């Protein structure tokens, strides 16, 4: 622990990875209800004071509104595809996601669009007590 009571960043990553197994069990439907709706919804599969994990499905052509991620997060790609991310300044980047990819994203504000021909399925784990990097 640091003097402020916050945990060092390196410990945050370990906690997120340790929680990942449970989240994937829920998000892939191996557990109880919690698999993403094929129509393009977000389903919270785990939430406590340290993390929130959501199973997300983006069907082809879906465009999400601009939104903000206030905390850092781990994104696990269950089924990949082409995801376009548009920043607040209008800059656009296309991510070619592959099944099995694990990505660290810091706090950000953006809009997304599935510009590919396949449904993208993700598990997004917001880590609340990690300092931004």
Residue 129 CA to residue 119 CA, distance in Å, equals 31
At residue 54's C-alpha, the angle toward residues 63 and 51, to 5°, is 130
Per the structure, the count of domains in the chain is: 1
Report the CATH number at residue 13.
Answer: 2.60.120.10
Residue 60 CA to residue 75 CA, distance in Å, equals 19
Assess if residue 118 is contained within a domain.
yes
Assess if residue 45 is contained within a domain.
yes
Residue 114 CA to residue 44 CA, distance in Å, equals 21
Reported pTM: 0.71
Average pLDDT estimate for 41-68: 93
Specify the residue for token string 């622990």.
1
Assess if residue 4 is contained within a domain.
no
Tell me the pLDDT tens digit for each residue of 78-96: 999 999 999 999 999 999 9
The residue range of the domain holding 73 is 9-127
Which is nearest to 104 in space by CA: 9, 37, 30, 34? 9
Tell me the pLDDT tens digit for each residue of 100-114: 999 999 999 999 999
Assess if residue 1 is contained within a domain.
no
Inform me whether the pLDDT recorded for 13 exceeds 70.
no
Assess if residue 3 is contained within a domain.
no
Tell me the pLDDT tens digit for each residue of 56-81: 999 999 998 898 999 999 999 999 99
């Amino acid at each position: 622990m640091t003097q402020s009571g916050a945990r060092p960043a390196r410990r945050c990553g370990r906690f997120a990875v340790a929680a990942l197994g449970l989240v994937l069990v829920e998000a892939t439907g191996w557990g109880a209800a919690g698999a993403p709706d094929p129509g393009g919804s977000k389903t919270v599969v785990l939430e406590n004071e340290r993390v929130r994990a959501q199973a997300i499905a983006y069907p082809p052509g879906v465009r999400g509104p601009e939104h903000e991620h206030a905390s850092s997060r781990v994104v696990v790609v269950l089924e990949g595809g082409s995801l376009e991310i548009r920043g607040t300044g209008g800059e656009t980047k296309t991510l070619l996601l592959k099944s099995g990819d694990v990505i660290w994203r810091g706090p950000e504000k953006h809009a997304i669009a599935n510009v590919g021909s396949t449904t993208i399925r993700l598990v997004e784990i917001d880590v609340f007590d990690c300092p931004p990097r």
